[in-house]
Amino acid sequence: MTQYKIRRLRGDDASSFREIRLEALVSHPEAFGASWEDEQNKSLESIADRLEQGYVLGGISDGGVLTGIIGLSKSTAVKTQHIGSIWGMYVRPVARGSGLSRQLVAAIIDEVGTTLRSLRLCVVSSNQAAIRLYKSMGFEEWAVEVDALKVDDRYYDELLMRLEIGPR
């Protein structure tokens, strides 16, 4: 069984991150607000900067391959700095069912600890496996954004989910 090391991605991971990110956007365009068309034109320098300035975790296989990713953004606005958002979650097919997805989400929850009150995410309503995972980790649905994304001529709804962490 493959073991995964979870670690923060840095600028020197830009090429590996770009590869898995583009794979995600091509394989599941309905699952991401970003598009392959927009992302494929980004320079490695801008991706490296994004990794350095942001917070992105990677699941690295025991063979050294970046196999899963998850991002965290924290609001900096005074009135919403108690909220964080998960973005860009993707695990390659080879690692699905291995527990890597759960490890990545758990690592983000550990990172925010009790520094945030609410951790939020959006998930396409057709991704039942992801919805089950998030619910099993305590996330609750709080809204549905109808026709949130349009891919080609098809619209997709997104479930908005949140995990209440800190005290009320």
CATH code, 21: 3.40.630.30
- Please give the model's pTM, rounded to 2 decimal places: 0.93
* Segments forming the whole domain that contains residue 35: 4-164
| pLDDT tens string 90-146 | 999 999 999 999 999 999 999 998 789 999 999 999 999 999 999 999 999 999 999
Band of the pLDDT at 168, cuts 50, 70, 90? Answer: low
- Average pLDDT of the segment spanning 2-26: 95
| pLDDT tens string 32-68 | 989 999 899 999 999 999 999 999 999 999 989 999 9
Structure tokens at 46: 């801008």
Cβ-defined contacts of 77-85 (< 8 Å, 24+): 82/116, 82/117, 82/118, 82/166, 83/116, 83/117, 83/118, 83/119, 83/120, 84/112, 84/116, 84/118, 84/119, 84/120, 85/119, 85/120, 85/121
- Average pLDDT of the segment spanning 16-41: 94
Structure tokens at 32: 């991401």
What per-residue confidence (pLDDT) applies to 167? 64
Whether 1 has a pLDDT exceeding 60, the answer reads no
Domain total for the chain? 1
Give kind and range of the element (H or E) at residue 160: strand 154-164
Maximum alpha-carbon separation in the chain: 45
